[in-house]
Structure 1
Amino acid sequence: MPTLPTEFRKVRRGHHGLYKLINDYSFDTVLDVGAGAGAHAAVLHANRKAVTAIDFGTSVYAEHRSSSVPWQRVDIDFFDFTPETAFDCVWACHVLEHQTDPGAFIRRCIALTKPDGIIAITVPPLKHRIVGGHLPLWNAGLLLYQLTFNGLDTRDAAICSYGYNVTVIVRNTARPPVSLDHDKGDLLRLKPFMPAFVDEPFEGRIHR
């Protein structure tokens, strides 16, 4: 992993993923989902992105946010948010593990991202210790599988595994419809639209 500038090292979660997103991808507007105290929104804003930060506004992280910020802030359920236009990028850091329906969350991210835009999701790595609010468990392979299963072509996905973070960045490019059985064999059917290392089965602990 590269040595990060100070502004990224200060971010508690998703720091390498955020750095890669800003440095390797071109975008102007970004939706920060589950923005909490606004640490990621602040870095995105400092890098001249037009940020909309969305959060329930009731989490322990949101309690520590500033009363006034130079970006748009919206306190609403993500599924009830209906912006006038889609975003160039959707950034969701340590949010997917809190979802009761991860597929619905991913499909909502797709709907709020412009075609060929960027979807960047960071999750914690799979662990056996259960903590409040963390419902589904993840590794990089499962996240890739879910993104592809829910309609995306992930062949060019960027994958970063570091510390307590797994970041996957993909383009909002739809894969063709595939008939799936929700059982053994599905990965082989989805394989043409996933990175070259994917097979059935494949190792989900991807370190890059």
Structure 2
Amino acid sequence: YRGKNITSMKANEIARLGLVRSFQISAVFGHMSVLENVRVALQQKMGNSFHFWKSERSLRELDDQVMQLLAEVDLQSFAQTLAVELPYGRKRALELATTLALDPFVLLLDEPTQGMGSEDVDMVVELVRKAAANRTVLMVEHNLSVVSRLCDRITVLARGSVLAEGDYDSVSANPQVREAYLGSEAATLEEAHA
């Protein structure tokens, strides 16, 4: 990664290099407010995440940055809401804000729209699009609508091997991809109707 072998590095060390990941299951501090969740992430970047004994007042210097990040993910009106009270889609947005607080060069997302209703999917797609404006985003996603709307380059894996790579149109038309994901009978039926 950026000329450095990171294979044996710990996740927090890799994150400090600008390679930040977000998992499929939302990971926020439910007992903390939305603002506090993002503030903790900013503290990590500043190197004082373990200064939990500092007064609340001394941490308020981060609040302008927090509110900017919350505005990026359309959560500024939820700043004082406990994270546990957020609907699932908003929790994903909060997790994206905490990830962006680390100012990554590369953002790894694992199925960011998994388990969401269509209204939340649309919101998260737009948030990921914004996040990708100034950085590389590598995403695992099985929702083909999301893939078609977000991805410039797609790699399809089957049984641990690369099956196809390219843009959405070429990959979705690939007969090997169709057979692997639709089955040989479905792929043959689709070809007959084309």
Fold shared by both chains (TM-score > 0.5): no
- Which one scores higher on RCO, CA 8 angstroms, separation ≥ 6? 2
* TM-score in terms of structure 1 length: 0.30
Larger radius of gyration: 2
Task: Report the structure, 1 or 2, having the larger helix content.
Answer: 2
Task: Report the structure, 1 or 2, having the larger strand content.
Answer: 1
* TM-score in terms of structure 2 length: 0.32
